[in-house]
Amino acid sequence: MSYRDKINMDRIPQHVAIIMDGNGRWAKQKGKARTFGHQAGAQTVHTIASEAARLGIKYLTLYTFSTENWNRPADEVAALMALLIDSIEEDTFMKNNIRFRIIGNVEKLPKDVLTRLNQCIEHTSKNTGMNLILALSYSSKWELTEATKQIAQEVKENKLEIDSISEKVISAHLTTNFMSDPDFLIRTGGEIRLSNYLLWQCAYTELYFCNTYWPDFNKEELWKAICDYQQRERRFGKTSEQI
Ligand code: IPE
Ligand code: IPE
Ligand code: MG
């Protein structure tokens, strides 16, 4: 029996975040270059995004390139940037009513990449289904530093009182301010860490780690993860009896 049959469609997580890890090791295992793994990983993005949209997930946030990933060998970074342009499948987004968005320090991306991404953002902006968000040149510490600077500036300009700074105000200054916090975070590839991803936003997120390398992650694995999520009791500090 497939995990698909076990999913409770009334309890689909609204926001799923994924740390797509393991492309390099997947390729190495096959005796291929790391880039081959990234290409295979791009295919997985489309499979998983289409299925997530079908399931009714509202926000799918994919950790695609971190601030720290700029420190990889130049040829790998260049290959990843080229792949970004090549793997944007606008037709698939339109067919699935997916709205495409990006978060991160995207000004650092090569101009041609940013132009292509912005085109896709614009063309899909009226779609009303799932939001597919790529975190690019993103890190949580970068985002929180930027938010702090903006808030300090507003205080300096007397636009904001210090006593008015609340969790809500901080959230509103983050790049994720248009969506709810992740309900569920999946990391593939076997590492048990967050690698600077959505640290503030994941304060109460359910975490799921699996050993499967991202290129091998598939619909069945997604269904399995969602079934796991649906077994959990989210207490938010309360007791079980209060839920
Ligand atoms: C994730 O796979 C993709 C990116 C970080 C761009 P990796 O490239 O980190 O693959 P591993 O972890 O080395 O196997
Ligand atoms: C996290 O993966 C970043 C992305 C998936 C884009 P990494 O492979 O870069 O993370 P670490 O270095 O193993 O923590
Ligand atoms: Mg990795």
Assess contact for 129 and 97: CB atoms under 8 A. Answer: yes
Beta bridge mates, 207 = 185
Q: Which ligand is nearest to the CA of 197?
A: 2
Assess contact for 27 and 37: CB atoms under 8 A. Answer: yes
Best CA proximity match to 132, nearest among 83, 173, 97: 97
Distance 45 CA to ligand 2 centre (A): 16
Distance 163 CA to ligand 3 centre (A): 41
69 catalytic? Reply is yes
Distance 236 CA to ligand 1 centre (A): 32
Say if strands 184-187 and 206-209 run parallel, antiparallel, or are unpaired.
parallel
pLDDT of residue 61: 98
The model's pLDDT over 172-203, given as tens digits with 9 standing for 90+, comes to 999 999 999 999 999 999 999 999 999 999 99
Spell out the per-residue pLDDT of the chain, length 243, in tens: 999 999 999 999 999 999 999 999 999 999 999 999 999 999 999 999 999 999 999 999 999 999 999 999 999 999 999 999 999 999 999 999 999 999 999 999 999 999 999 999 999 999 999 999 999 999 999 999 999 999 999 999 999 999 999 999 999 999 999 999 999 999 999 999 999 999 999 999 999 999 999 999 999 999 999 999 999 999 999 999 999
Place of tokens 């359910």: 206
Kindly give the number of the ligand 1 atom that is closest to the alpha carbon of 80: 6
Task: Give the start-to-end residue ranges of the domains of the chain.
Answer: 11-139+181-231
User: What 3 state SS string does 133-158 have?
Assistant: EEEEEECHHHHHHHHHHHHHHHHHCC
Q: Report whether residue 222 contacts ligand 2, using a CB cutoff of 6 Å.
A: no
The CATH number that domain 11-139+181-231 falls under is 3.40.1180.10
Best CA proximity match to 55, nearest among 3, 101, 126: 3
pTM: predicted TM-score of the whole model, two decimal places: 0.98
